[in-house]
Structures are given as C-alpha cells and as structure tokens.
Amino acid sequence: MKLSLGALQYYWPRQTIFDFYQAIAASPVDIIYLGETVCSRRHELRLSDWIDIADLMRDSGKEAVLSTQVLLESGIEVSAMHKVTGNPDYLIEANDMGAVQRLSAAQRPFVGGLHLNIYNQPALTWLASLGATRWVAPLEMKHQDLSALIQDGPKDLQTEVFAYGRMPLAFSARCFTARQRNLPKDDCQFACMDHPDGLMLKTRESEDFLVLNGIQTQSARVHNLIDELPRMQSMGVAVARISPQAQHTHEILALFDAVRRGTLAPHDARTQLQPLVPDQSCNGYWHGQPGLDLVETQTLATA
Amino acid sequence: MHAPTLTPTPEAAAPANAPLPFELVCPAGSLPALKAAVDNGASCVYLGLRDATNARNFAGLNFDEAAIASGIAYAHARGCKVFMALNTYPQAANPAPWRAAVDKAVDLGVDAVILADPGLMQYAAQHHPRLRLHLSVQGSATSADAINFYREQFGIVRAVLPRVLAMEQVRRVIDRTPVEIEVFGFGSLCVMVEGRCALSSYVTGESPNTHGVCSPPKSVRWQETPKGLESRLNGVLIDRYAPGENAGYPTLCKGRFDVAEDKNYYAIEEPTSLNTLELLPELMKIGVRAVKIEGRQRSPAYAAQVTKVWREAIDNCLADPLRYSPKTAWMASLDEVAEGQQHTLGAYHRPWK
C-alpha cells in the first residue's frame, strides 16, 4: 500500500510552504497532491511554483499530482481549473465535475477527488470509464461499503482513503475566517495566514467542535485510521492519504510508513501518534458511526 | 418497458420569438401542501418518496404511491407539472431502492426527476430515454463545464444551482450552457454548497447525501437547565436560549458558538431565509428559467402563502419588468414564514460574504 500526502488545506507563508515540501521530498511518502484546492484568494504560490515543487517531488522519486479547486464560483476560478487540467506533465486530481469534464474530453487519466460524491458501484464504474485511474472514497463511507466497492469495482481502478487529518466537511461561498474578523470575503486581508491549522470553533461548553478554514469547514477532531492500515491492506486499498498539518507531518508519515511495512504494531503506532495529533482522534465514519466518534477496534494482524 | 411520460414542453409549440417561460417551482411535503401550491399558482411542484431516496427524509413527510398518483392527477388537471426529487446518493450496499424509485416515477407519470447521482442518472437515461432529467442542487455543479458534462453524459435538460453564486456568476453559467437553469428564490438558507456538506453526519451519522436529512430530529434533544433552554444534537450543544428568547430548530450550522474572543455568536449563519423577490427582473433578464421555493418540511399554509406571493410577483414582473418592485405586503408576508422572521439575498449579493 502506498502513502500519499493530500493537498495542503491551509494558507501558509510562501517560504514555509517551500520548506515544508523540501522536507517532504526526503520522507517515505509515495504520492504528493499539490496546489490550492480551497480558496483562489490564497496566492502565495502560483501554479508555476506548484509545478516547481512537483518537479522536485518527481526528481525525488515520488509521484506528483496537481489538484484542482473544490468549489468553483468565478470565471477566474474556472480558468484556473482549466490551466491545471491543461498541464500535460502531471496526473491531475479532479475535485469537481467540471474538472472531470476537461480531463475526460482530453482523454487524460485522472484521480477522482474526495469531493466528487462517488457512493456506489454504478457511479464508480462510470468514473472509471471516463479515465479515472484512482479515486478517493467519500469521508462518510464505512469500511464495509468500501470493501464491497473495491471487490466488485473496476479492476484497474485504485482506491485511496483519507486516513489521517482534520476532515474537510463542508465548503461555502462565505469565508468564515473573514466573517469572524468582520471583514468582507473580497477584502479578507488574508486572515487565514494567522491560523496555520485553521481557526477553532467551540461549543458554549468549550468543547472543540469545528475548524474554520476560510470557505472550508473542517472537523476539530482528527480522523485517524493508523490502526486500520492492516485492514485497508487486506481490503485492497491502494493508497492511504495523510493530510498536512502545521507541525509533525514528517513524524506522522514515518509512523504510517512503519505500520504499512509491518515494522511497528498498529496499536503501538496509535500510542506514539497521539502526542502529534492536534486534537482528539476520531474514526466514526469508517465504522458507520457519526464521524466524530472514536470506535475502539480490534486491529487485524499485519497483512 | 415503461410508457414514455413526456408531453411536449410548452416552448416547443411556441413561436420562435416568444419569451421563454419562467416557472415557479414549489415544495410539496404532503398532498395537502401540493394542493395548496397548485391552487395558489405553482407552475410545478416537487415531491419525494417517504424514504431515504430524497433529501427531505423526515418522519410524517412525503408521499406513498397512492398519494403521488392523486397529487399528479390534481396537478395535471390544473396545468401544473410534478417533479420527483430522488436527490440523495444511492448507498453502496443497496442502490436498488433508488432505481425502483426512478421506475416508479415513470409509471406514475411525473414530468421530471431531480437527480444528483451519476450512476442513477445513467440508469435513468438508459432505461427511460424520454424521462426529463434535472440535475439536483445536491450535484454541486457550479460551472457551465460541470453542467454541460451532465448534459453530454446523461442528457439533463435542467440544473438547479447551489446557493453559492453571485448574480454575475449565475449569468456567466447561463451564457455558457443550453441547459435550463433553476435557482433558489425563497426558503431556508443552506450556507454550505449543497452536496458537499458532511457536518450533519459528522455529528449524527446521517447527512443529506447519505440519508436525505440534515440535523435529523431523532438526534435532537431539548433540555431546560439553570442556564437556559438547551438544544443538542447527539449530545453536542448547538444553542442555549435566554428566558423568553425564541428557540429555533437546532440545524447545526445555525447554532451559536465561541470562536477566539467572540463568544456565543452565529459563527456560520444566523437563522434566516433566502428571499430574492427583489432580484426577479434581473433573474428573468439573464435567462434563469425557473425559481425554486424551498420548504418541503413546512406546512400546507406555508406552501399556500409563499406560492401566492411569488405567483403575484412573477406575474407583475412579467407584465412590466421595468416598473417592478416587491410590494411591502409581499415582503411582510414572506418574513412571517421566514426563519427567524428575517431574510437575506444570500450569495447573490456580494457584501453577504
């Protein structure tokens, strides 16, 4: 099973982003998704910068993939998506059906992103027929359903699972980070930059609940399937995705790598991972429960 | 095989220079609501089956087969169309109910089905080639690229836009697609892109995409406490009301929360309704073909009141768009049934953001 690093969800300073990926080049991760997927006002890096990073990743022996923005509203955003999908050098992760249209029309293979809402066999078969070589299962999907889809699905289609990170639960036209500062979205003063892991929203009982990340709303709890990696391997999941966070991404990748290689027991990995997780862990979706639940599971023997 | 259901659309028979029809699409959560909408001037009503195949899967709502048959007869006799919403995503373990629902819609003679799932669209297009397909708002299609793609793949003839585009962005989409565009005109405001929001299942295990519900009633608990009346979703505190304060349904994005130094505020969205009555001339001018009223979970009285106002407004605007402006009485009537008794232009209006 391969490990991937999902596209950066946050707005970090330019040099921080370059330094981050420089370090990632030396990590055990196999696939790196690159590009701005959340908000077009975030432009510390242009597409050409992301392609430079992709080149660096390729030179380091990794597979680089360019990701498109999830929510397209303006003409400028649609044009930006056209530029990404028009890049001939890298595989593209399509994060909306407009991007799928461009890639299938160009007869290019692509990755069907997390937000395409592929929940069943006919939809999955259809996506593969358009040229998808890999797809990312919806967050909400329980492992039993996923297992059935993998078993009966298109044989050449790889399945990727969002295995670690704060979950991107929703997207809006409204920027909640700007709203919290009483700023209009069009003059947000790049408030996201002050929140390298997003801005915490708590209930009135001071319980961490959601994370505001510009137009995206994330879970406060961190989806964490490290002890499910053996099960994923036996199910035929091809790729486990780790979502970048401001601190400890490198160590987190190393722990996932050790588990997939069988050199660290899943249970021990979970214990070692815990101090690196910025909030409580959760895994409810994987077990058919509310996403914020933490289900204690008996881990399978390493496959 | 099922009998074809389509009657020629009115525009097919109209002269080439006639203005395109502008439809008022109204919610029918029950047979009485359907009749109320039809009687008050709906061009079309939309309804759903009593199960997870549609995005308003609440107890006591929606239709069984007999009610649909009688609703269709009632509507068609009065020149009103009936759409069936099958706009949740068929779940992996058992997509059969959704396919059966498409077959049922055809048998019953609905005028269109409103779908979100590409697998289901493919089924409908292959098995019922004359059935009119509308892309649901749950399909999250915000660009002409995406909408044209569904047309090319499955022959959709109409798309409902998510409530996230500004007026100029709606115009841009219309200019680039032959697919009819339907927009939301009134009702509860989904502040997230429809079809891309899992907040509900994060808390309760059920969401619009998977179960056709948001913040489902079975997960709601109300509790009187010394600090005030509390509403909880699966244990998570969504809101707490001061004595005498009106308590609203705990839709989780409309709760009050703490963010940094800001305490107890509507960090995501206030309880408010979308109301685009004042945008009608502009919507017609840019080529919007239908306006949708939200609210299948609301009462027949709601369906009657909102449909009546919108019918009058649309007729006024069609007769004289240049002199049109929303009447105070219309706005007051709509505010009466609006969430929190207040309204917004939502994303159509740039400063909303």
Q: Distance from A62 to chain B by nearest Cα, in Å?
A: 30
Q: Nearest CB to B259: which of A127, A180, A207?
A: A180
Domain architecture of chain B: domains with CATH: 23-189+272-348 (3.20.20.70), 199-266 (no CATH)
Q: What are the counts of helices (DSSP H) followed by strands (DSSP E) for chain B?
A: 12, 16
In the three-class reduction of DSSP (H, G, I as helix; E, B as strand; rest coil), residue A213 is classed as: strand
Contact A138 B209 (CB under 8 A): yes
Contact B197 A169 (CB under 8 A): yes
B80 annotated among ligand-binding-site residues: no
- The CA radius of gyration of chain B, in Å to the nearest whole number, is 20
Q: Nearest CB to B351: which of A81, A119, A184?
A: A184
* Residue reference for tokens 């509203």: A73
Contacts of B193 in chain A (CB under 8 A): 71, 170-173
Q: Distance from A155 to chain B by nearest Cα, in Å?
A: 17
**For an interface test with B, which of A78, A84, A125, A152 has the most B Cβ atoms less than 10 Å from its Cβ?**
A78
Contact A173 B193 (CB under 8 A): yes
What does the block give as tokens for A98?
């407009």
B190 annotated among ligand-binding-site residues: yes
pLDDT in tens, chain A (303 residues): 999 999 999 999 999 999 999 999 999 999 999 999 999 999 999 999 999 999 999 999 999 999 999 999 999 999 999 999 999 999 999 999 999 999 999 999 999 999 999 999 999 999 999 999 999 999 999 999 999 999 999 999 999 999 999 999 999 999 999 999 999 888 999 999 999 999 999 999 999 999 999 999 999 999 999 999 999 999 999 999 999 999 999 999 999 999 999 999 999 999 999 999 999 999 999 999 999 999 987 654 443
Q: Nearest CB to B143: which of A78, A123, A207?
A: A78
The confidence score (pLDDT) of residue B15 equals 56
Contacts of A151 in chain B (CB under 8 A): none
d(CA A244, CA A252): 9
Contact B258 A203 (CB under 8 A): yes
Q: Which residues pair with B8 in a beta bridge?
A: none
Q: What are phi and psi of B117, to 5 degrees?
A: -90, 125
B44 annotated among ligand-binding-site residues: no
- The pTM assigned to this predicted structure is 0.94
Q: Which residues pair with B112 in a beta bridge?
A: B83
Contact A174 B166 (CB under 8 A): no
The confidence score (pLDDT) of residue B271 equals 87
Closest by CA position to A70, among listed A45, A43, A49, A40: A40
Q: Nearest CB to A119: which of B92, B165, B352?
A: B92
**A219 touches B: beta carbon within 8 Å:** yes
Q: Nearest CB to A171: which of B172, B196, B352?
A: B196
Contact A167 B90 (CB under 8 A): no
**A131 touches B: beta carbon within 8 Å:** no
| DSSP string for residues in B89-111 | PPPTT--HHHHHHHHHHHHHT-S
In 3-state terms chain B splits into helix, strand, coil percentages (rounded to 5) of: 40, 20, 40
Contacts of A171 in chain B (CB under 8 A): 192-193, 196-197
d(CA A81, CA B143): 11
